[in-house]
Amino acid sequence: MAKNVYVVGNWKMYKTAREATDYIESLAPKIEGTKGMIYLSVPYTSIAPAAHYAKETNIVIGAQNMNDARDGAFTGEIAGLMLKEAGATFVILGHSERRHIFGESNALIHRKVLRALQDDIQPILCIGETSKERDAGKTDEVLKEQLFSALDGVPKEDAEHLIVAYEPVWAIGTGKTATLKHIEEAHLFCRACLTELFGKKQGGAIPILYGGSVKPENVAEIVDQKEVNGVLVGGASLDTDTFAEIVQKIAGGGALKKTTTPKTRKPPIRRKKKE
């Protein structure tokens, strides 16, 4: 059965602005004609030029992090409104590298999710267990905690703007993809959590992506699993041939069709600032 599929590339701290525009010029013709939108999450300095070069293509540009405040004396930080003005339509939040290298807590990620929705930037909330937690049989517990804490207080009407990405920490950048069984079980569990949080209709419609060593050779079977609505690709998104192959693999299977894009989606309900 065809389903909506998202393909998101996360460049992490790779590519200068010049390399970013070269990349988009090279990628655009390779994915022309594929249905659906391709999301690229690029470094801050590449957002504006990449968004400019991505106009008239089916590529949308986003960021990899943002601060939880609207503005303020936070040296070195960046606000959602700045990203938006630069051309970002979405932001990755709670990536495992932010959690584990930069010590981001569930509470901070929760505040960032609320801020992103308020600033009309689509959050892609990343969750995932470490190998230690998996081996201790705590995967479900960790996923539930990360989902419930991050999405606490998000109104039902904002659920349609959320994307969740399940990325087992041990599968990121290691070449060790989770087994299909593990992926399906985790996604079914995440879906149950989202339904509990937002109800069947809204919770059932939130895209859940898989990330962790996705490559052209494994993407089709991953996307075939129940409740997998797309992929978040790190290393394999850095080369246009490889990334285009990933896009084509899913499109070739007929799975890729027009997704709800930030250009057409309704903006989140504006709420008054609490502080």
Q: Which residues are catalytic?
A: 95, 167
Cα(72)–Cα(89) distance, integer angstroms: 22
Nearer to ligand 13P, 83 or 232 (CB): 232
- CB neighbours of 60 closer than 8 A, spacing ≥ 6? 37, 38, 39, 40, 54, 89, 90, 261, 262, 263
- CB neighbours of 3 closer than 8 A, spacing ≥ 6? 229, 255, 257
Q: Determine the residue with CB nearest ligand 13P.
A: 234
Which segments of 152-239 does DSSP mark as H helices, in order? 180-198, 200-205, 219-223
Rounded to the nearest whole angstrom, what is the least distance from the CB of residue 213 to ligand 13P in the complex? 4
Q: Could you give phi then psi for residue 236, rounded to 5 degrees?
A: -75, 0
Query: Residue 230, interface with ligand 13P (CB under 6 A)?
Result: no
Place of tokens 């609505």: 229
Contact region with ligand 13P (CB under 6 A), list: 100-108, 129-137, 211-219, 253-261? 211-219
Contact region with ligand 13P (CB under 6 A), list: 130-138, 141-149, 201-209, 230-238? 230-238
Contact region with ligand 13P (CB under 6 A), list: 73-81, 154-162, 202-210, 232-240? 232-240
Nearer to ligand 13P, 124 or 202 (CB): 124
Where b means 16+ CB within 10 Å and e means fewer, 237-251 reads bbebeebbbbbbbbb
> What burial class does residue 226 get, using C-beta atoms within 10 Å of its C-beta: 0-12 exposed, 13-18 middle, 19+ buried?
exposed
- For the window 89-128, what string marks contact with ligand 13P as x by the rule CB under 6 A? ------x---------------------------------
Query: Residue 62, interface with ligand 13P (CB under 6 A)?
Result: no
Query: Residue 234, interface with ligand 13P (CB under 6 A)?
Result: yes
- Give the max Cα distance, the chain: 50
Query: Residue 173, interface with ligand 13P (CB under 6 A)?
Result: yes
Cα(101)–Cα(60) distance, integer angstroms: 27
Rounded to the nearest whole angstrom, what is the least distance from the CB of residue 134 to ligand 13P in the complex? 16
Which tokens hold the place of 85?
């003005």
Q: Which of 80, 207, 211, 262 binds ligand 13P (CB under 6 A)?
A: 211
Query: Residue 194, interface with ligand 13P (CB under 6 A)?
Result: no
Tell me which residues touch ligand 13P (CB under 6 A). Answer: 10, 95, 167, 172-173, 211-214, 232-236
